[in-house]
Amino acid sequence: MRIVIAGGHGQIALRLERLLVARGDEVAGIIRKPEQADTLRQLGAEPVVLDLESASVADVAEQLRGADAAVFAAGAGPGSGTARKETVDKAAAVLFADAAVSAGVRRFVVVSSMGADPTHEGDEVFDVYQRAKGEADAYVRGLDALEWTILRPGMLTDDAGTGLVRLEAHTGRGPIPRDDVAAVLAELVEGSSTAGLTLELISGPVPVTVAVKAVAGE
């Protein structure tokens, strides 16, 4: 498969790229800073320098053309203010989805946030973030041309992955290592059996491959 990942230098994306390359997929990571390119090359992924805050749909579609799947794993990051929650967490996600439609890429996976909700109230940075992610998710859900899956991890940690998770429509809150988020994404992107599902993810008792098959009804 050829898989294009937005936010290619993010902590989850780097882990995902390593997994995908290891299993033989062709991976491209969209990054904003040229100095991040070598990190992706060292993983065996192709760096694509493109700023999703200023790019057009046509610009992004050009990079997506010929891909089998697209993963939106970009984020403004914890140190950013409210403005970039709107331009990255919402607008860039919408742009990437529109570009996937334009390029004819049907499989589309979003790394969202547990609690994301377009009606979330409040003006603090985290409130704006949850609202922006919720609005982006709602937009993706409305695109019939995409076989989308939205993944909403719990509290992200840098603990070593266990390969054991709880993946359901509603899990309740809990921690999840970034390693295990990447492992779940690698399974989700491989096929479209979970298309149309919004899934929450925390650590649990079920092996990743079994958990993905279970929510897909396999």
pLDDT band at 15 (very low <50, low <70, confident <90, very high): very high
Mean pLDDT value across residues 5-20: 97
Residue 216 has what pLDDT?
A: 94
Structure confidence at residue 123 as a pLDDT band (50, 70, 90): confident
> Residue 81: what pLDDT?
81
Q: What amino acid occupies position 216?
A: A
Residue 183 confidence class, pLDDT cut points 50, 70, 90: very high
Tell me what the mean pLDDT of segment 89-106 comes to. 97
pLDDT at position 83 over 90:
no
Look at residue 218 in the predicted model and tell me its pLDDT. Answer: 79
pTM of the predicted model as reported, rounded to 2 decimal places = 0.96
Percent of the chain with pLDDT over 70: 100
Give the distance from CA 185 to its chain's centroid: 8
User: In whole angstroms, what is the distance from residue 31 CA to residue 37 CA?
Assistant: 8
Can you give the pLDDT at residue 84?
A: 84
For the stretch 24-71, pLDDT in tens is 999 999 999 999 999 999 999 999 999 999 999 999 999 999 999 999
Residues 40/47, Cβ–Cβ less than 8 Å: yes
Q: Using alpha carbons only, give the angle 40, 45, 46 rounded to the nearest 5 degrees.
A: 90
pLDDT surpasses 80 at 208: yes
E strands along the chain, which residues? 2-6, 26-31, 46-49, 69-72, 107-111, 147-153, 155-157, 164-168, 175-177, 197-203, 206-207
**Cα distance between residue 73 and residue 135, in whole Å:** 16
Alpha carbons 46 and 110: distance in angstroms, whole number: 20
CA–CA distance from 184 to each of 110, 147, 175, 178, 213 (Å)? Answer: 12, 17, 14, 10, 11
Q: Give the contacts of 79 (CB within 8 A, at least 6 positions apart).
A: none
Distance of alpha carbon 163 from alpha carbon 183, whole angstroms: 7
Neighbours of 207 (CB within 10 A): 14
Q: By percentage, how much of the chain surpasses pLDDT 90?
A: 90
